[in-house]
Amino acid sequence: MQTNYWASHWPTEDGGAERQQVAGSILLGEATLTSKLAIASTMVVFRNPGELYLLCHTGGDDGISWVEQLDSLTLETIRRSVDMPGGLTWPGGLAVHANGSIYVVFGQHAHRLSPTLEIEAHQELPQRAPYNSFVVLRDGTLVTKNFGGARPGMDTHFEAASCELVALHPDDLRILDRYEVGQGSVARLSAHDQTAYVVGVESFVGIDFVDGAFVSTSVKQAPYRTADEGYGWDAVIADGSAWFLNNGAGSETFDGSLLEKGIATAPQQIVRVHLDSYVVEKYEVNDAPGGIVANPPAVDTNQKIVVGYDSAAGVVRAYRYAATGGTLLWQINLNHACHPLVFPESDLVMLNDFDPLLGADQIVLVRTSTGEIISRVATESPLQSVLFGAPGEANDLYLCSFTHVTRLQFQGNAST
């Protein structure tokens, strides 16, 4: 049981600080779609049974954020927080802490909210930059960092020279400590126990946080980036390794999808960092130039399968991995870009498939072991989701795009 997050089945983005995206099981059958227009939504999380919270924000250089509590079945709004200051826009984060409060990091601000969405604490963060979410360590400390990539309208090749980790006390959000990483980072943080993990633009970095301070002597680094290769995005911490995808540059040119938006000339790859040695391995997803991702791979530790993708070319590829190395299992063509969901008990992974001709995003459930497409349901979103999903409580799942929140429920009377 998690001691850093609330004891619900999905208290934070990707299900936990390790970003394993593991959603248990789902039984497929007749599908029912419920949709809510929500501009711009990012993610949903659960507190107590039936308590579903949605994070939304506006855009630009003076963005605001707010949280809505939704009916978990109808998606109707039950209550809404006040508008909260943000600043420079990049999608932020939402989590339910073990103390029961709801935390938001968006733009240059962190907020603590009650379960009924009243503000309990607020902290302006040190740098004029968007802070792209946060993780909660085992001791309850929140760790965030500034986003180090290009925003819309900026040079696609921009990479910040450095980024700074900021540790916040959960009671009042006061700053406990700060640590300069020494390289920029675009990816969201990951963590396990008291160790925070940073996918920098050149190296993967781990650092411990002990007794209220970052321990500089604990820092470990794994250089992963080679010539013509793009920087990495969010890392999944699973099976003794960190797993992420390279070639992240270009996502700020999103115009409804990430198709043909990549600028890297090196192959699209899954990057694996062994956490006992910080040795790096790579598994090729697509050897064509111009690859791009903006999210993590999917890892099914039960079957030892990792699923990567290239959102520019619409390629999804899976490997069965061993203690070292991996064997290609399958490859399919899907215009996937969102955070996957892994249903290991059902041998399924949730992906999306954007149809540029129809201008419609589709939720796709794929057999993890074979690549067979088992279910495909069109959503009402005219934009490709590059955001977060979540499993529900009634044989259902959710997916956010910049325009809609979608709930997909299955009757569960058919075999997976």
Q: What is the pTM of this model?
A: 0.96
Residue 414 in this model has a pLDDT that exceeds 50? no
DSSP state of 55: E
Q: What are the CA-CA distances from residue 52 to residues 40, 79, 135, 332 (Å)? A: 17, 11, 19, 33
> Residue 321: pLDDT above 70?
yes
Please count the other Cβ atoms lying within 10 Å of the Cβ belonging to residue 373.
14
Lowest mean pLDDT among 180-189, 246-255, 406-415: 406-415
Q: Given the structure tokens 């603590």, which residue do they identify?
A: 112
pLDDT of residue 157: 81
Mean pLDDT of 389-399: 98
> At residue 146, does pLDDT exceed 60?
yes
Predicted pLDDT of residue 156? 78
As a whole number of angstroms, the longest Cα–Cα distance in the chain is 55
- For residues 149 and 328, the model is more confident at 328
Question: CB–CB of 214/166 below 8 Å?
Answer: no
The yes-or-no verdict on residue 415 having pLDDT over 50 is: no
Band (413; pLDDT cuts 50, 70, 90): low
104-135 residue pLDDT tens: 999 999 999 999 999 999 999 999 999 999 99
130: exposed, middle or buried (Cβ count in 10 Å: 0-12, 13-18, 19+): buried
- Tell me, what's the pLDDT at 139? 97
Question: How far lies 385's CA from each of 242, 316, 405, in Å?
Answer: 24, 16, 10
Sheet holding 389-391, edge to edge: 31-37, 404-410, 396-400, 389-391
Q: 416 pLDDT band (50/70/90 cuts)?
A: very low
Kindly report, residue by residue over 340-353, the tens digit of the pLDDT.
999 999 999 999 99
Q: What is the mean pLDDT of residues 17-46?
A: 97
How far is residue 306's CA from residue 375's CA, in Å, rounded to a whole number? 20
DSSP codes of every residue in 314-330: TEEEEEEE-SS-EEEEE
Six-digit token pair at 210?
């002990």
Instruction: Provide mean pLDDT across the span 262-289.
Output: 97
Report angle CA 365, 327, 260 to the nearest 5 degrees. 55
Beta-carbon contacts of 347 under 8 Å, excluding residues fewer than 6 positions away, are 303, 367, 368, 369, 416
Taking CA atoms, 212 is separated from 168, 169, 177, in Å, by 9, 9, 7
pLDDT at residue 158 greater than cutoff 90: no
Q: How many C-beta atoms surround the C-beta of residue 173 within 10 A?
A: 21
Which candidate, 390, 333, 338, places its Cα nearest to that of 361? 338
With a cut of 80, say whether residue 309 has pLDDT above it: yes
What b/e readout covers 74-113, taking b as 16+ CB neighbours within 10 angstroms?
ebeebeebeebebbbbbbbbbbbbbeebbbbbbbbbbbbb
Checking if the pLDDT of 32 tops 60, the result is: yes
Beta-bridged to residue 410, according to DSSP, are 31
Residue ranges covered by each domain of the chain? 13-410
Taking 60 as the threshold, does the pLDDT of residue 226 lie above it?
yes
pLDDT at 159: 83
Chain-wide mean pLDDT for the chain? 96
pLDDT of residue 155: 79
13-410 CATH:
2.130.10.10
Percent of the chain with pLDDT over 70: 98
Confidence of residue 2 (pLDDT cuts 50, 70, 90): low
The strands making up 203-210's β-sheet, listed across from edge to edge, are: 190-192, 195-199, 203-210, 213-223
